[in-house]
Amino acid sequence: MGTKNQTWATEFILLGLSSVWGTQVSLFVLFLVMYLVTVLGNFLLVLLIRLDSRLHTPMYFFLTNLSLVDVSYSTSIVPQMLVHFLAEHKIIPYLSCAAQLFFSLALGGIEFFLLTVMAYDRYVAVCKPLRYSAIMHGGLCTRLAITSWVSGSINSLMHTAMTFQLPTCTNKFIDHISCEILAVVRLACVDTSSNEAIIMVSSIVLLMTPFCLVLLSYIQIISTILKIQSSDGRKKAFHTCASHLTVVALCYGTAIFTYIQPHSGPSVLQEKLISLFYAILMPMLNPMIYSLRNKEVKGAWQKLLGEFSGLTPKLAI
């Protein structure tokens, strides 16, 4: 195709999930409620960690980062999607699309890195309990968190720059709920096989490398737990990892099942459903998982609610 015919769109149109008005209104109400629960749940979890000194540990430092990532990731996609459910013209400007792609890619990568860091924290807690404080000191925790944020952002910046240098000519319809990278690449009016190959290789590396590190950590953890003679000791050691292991299974399990397929990649519908899973469902479930399956968090909630109920009569007087 001639260079003179290669142009860049100034705006895009997101096709979303449905074009039926009644369905869009129903989805608007459902996703609005889920988004509000996500923001409230993660905000309360971060607030609880800040208020309870017993939760000022490396595990909950990383959990605070994870909650901030979850809320930010959900916010990068859901509000725009809610507006489009009620809008006649589902337009997203070029720069807004680029920003959405950057933040969603960056925050998604950061989450996988954080889950890996949290797995290492659990490994040290279970396998090297006597050296835990010496190893997981404040400086190391800060460096690990910064590395996670910077790594995810650099990877996203690279892919965003490569994607938005592609000419889209007259095609501006994105068959997705957001400016997802593969959906935007498909708009290009030039050969994108090299771009798609780079995206696939990068996705596999960034997915499988953290996954292998997490798997290695849990092999060591399980091996150590099985050597504990006391059943109470084994149960206590397992409970220190239960919440994180549940989140890891959901995140990595869904990603691996969807993207690591031998014969074909995910369909457009699968891509939309996976985006909804990571943008709405996982950020909403994470604080619930860490609250319901963690004795320390449940204890902190009971203490905080007890203090609040004790103050209520005094405030009424």
- For residues 93 and 10, the answer to whether their CB atoms sit within 8 Å is yes
Does residue 317 lie in a domain region? Answer: no
Structure-token pair, residue 5: 């015919």
Does residue 201 lie in a domain region? Answer: yes
CATH number for the domain harbouring residue 124 = 1.20.1070.10
Does residue 215 lie in a domain region? Answer: yes
Report the domain count for the chain: 1
pLDDT at 175: 86
Domain, as residue range, for 304:
8-312
Q: Provide DSSP, 198-255.
A: HHHHHHHHHHHHHHHHHHHHHHHHHHHHHH---HHHHHHHHHHHHHHHHHHHHHHHHH
Q: Please, which residues have CB within 8 angstroms of residue 171's CB and are 6 or more apart in sequence?
A: 9, 187, 189
CA-CA distance, 75 to 11, in Å (whole number)?
21
pLDDT at 295: 67
Does residue 189 lie in a domain region? Answer: yes
Phi/psi of residue 199, each to 5°?
-60, -45
Does residue 211 lie in a domain region? Answer: yes
For the whole model, what pTM was predicted? 0.85
Question: What is the mean pLDDT of each successive set of 10 residues along the chain, which is 317 residues long?
Answer: 54 83 90 94 89 85 93 94 88 90 92 92 90 92 95 92 81 85 83 80 81 90 85 76 83 71 62 85 86 67 65 48
pLDDT at 3: 46
Within its chain, how far is the Cα of 197 from the centroid? 23
Does residue 2 lie in a domain region? Answer: no
| Location of structure tokens 């769109």 | 9
Does residue 3 lie in a domain region? Answer: no
Within its chain, how far is the Cα of 117 from the centroid? 14
Does residue 1 lie in a domain region? Answer: no
